[in-house]
Chain A
Amino acid sequence: KAGVTQTPRYLIKTRGQQVTLSCSPISGHRSVSWYQQTPGQGLQFLFEYFSETQRNKGNFPGRFSGRQFSNSRSEMNVSTLELGDSALYLCASSLSNPGSHRAMNTEAFFGQGTRLTVV
């Protein structure tokens, strides 16, 4: 079974530009979460999607947005890039769904990440 796939692996953008990152979850996983990882702040939750709807959102500005498609693939977009947006962006998928409180399968499967550098 293929793991979580993120594209591209590396990206260099200029301040003020926008960027779109893609994530394909494990087949059968309908929940996709996004995280930002930086040396200073560590791994921070951005948002989570299930059935094409954003279910949870972290404490990030509105420049960070996402969406999920009917095949569970997800994209995140960052507009008006700032130098501080340079980070490893990680996507994770899981079998859990909003109706399965305290579900048995509660591990998150992460992709290899997209390394974004803003210059």
Chain B
Amino acid sequence: SQKIEQNSEALNIQEGKTATLTCNYTNYSPAYLQWYRQDPGRGPVFLLLIRENEKEKRKERLKVTFDTTLKQSLFHITASQPADSATYLCALDAQGSARQLTFGSGTQLTVLP
């Protein structure tokens, strides 16, 4: 059966360091992989999208990699700040349409001052 795993439920890092979050999937051939940020009591907010023919995508302090051979995506936040503290969700989109996303369980990131 299809499975998506984010390997850490929680991750604590020191301010200024790079946070690296992992998303692994099995029995799935995604067209796209997306990363969202979710704050308590609020809906997820889109951060980055990477297509299956792309290896890496960057946006300001964020970087996403996508390895379809390893079936893994890595999400990096460089120069992390306490304001980056949130839950980060990866989502697979087999149709490439964002109309039916399959989400991982999320990683709760805490950036310590």
Contact = CB atoms under 8 A, between A and B. Distances in A.
A106 B89 CA distance: 16
Nearest to A3: B43
A56 B93 CA distance: 13
A106 B45 contact: no
B99 interface: yes
A19 interface: no
Interface string A28-65: 00010101000000111100101000011010000000
A58 B41 CA distance: 23
Interface string B71-113: 0000000000000000001000101111111111110000000
Interface residues of B, number: 25
A119 interface: no
A106 B96 contact: yes
B32 interface: yes
A108 B42 CA distance: 14
B46 interface: yes
A98 B101 CA distance: 15
Nearest to A32: B99
Contacts of A4: 43
Contact of A48 (B31, B100, B105, B106): B100
Contacts of B49: 106-107
Interface of A: 4, 31, 33, 35, 42-45, 48, 50, 55-56, 58, 88, 90, 92, 94, 96-98, 100-103, 105-113, 115
Interface of B: 31-32, 34, 36, 41-46, 49, 89, 93, 95-106
The 3 closest A-B pairs by CB, nearest first: A110-B43, A102-B96, A96-B97
23 contacts: A31-B98, A31-B99, A33-B99, A35-B101, A42-B103, A45-B100, A45-B101, A48-B99, A48-B100, A92-B101, A94-B97, A96-B99, A101-B95, A101-B96, A101-B97, A106-B34, A106-B49, A106-B97, A107-B98, A110-B36, A112-B41, A113-B42, A115-B41
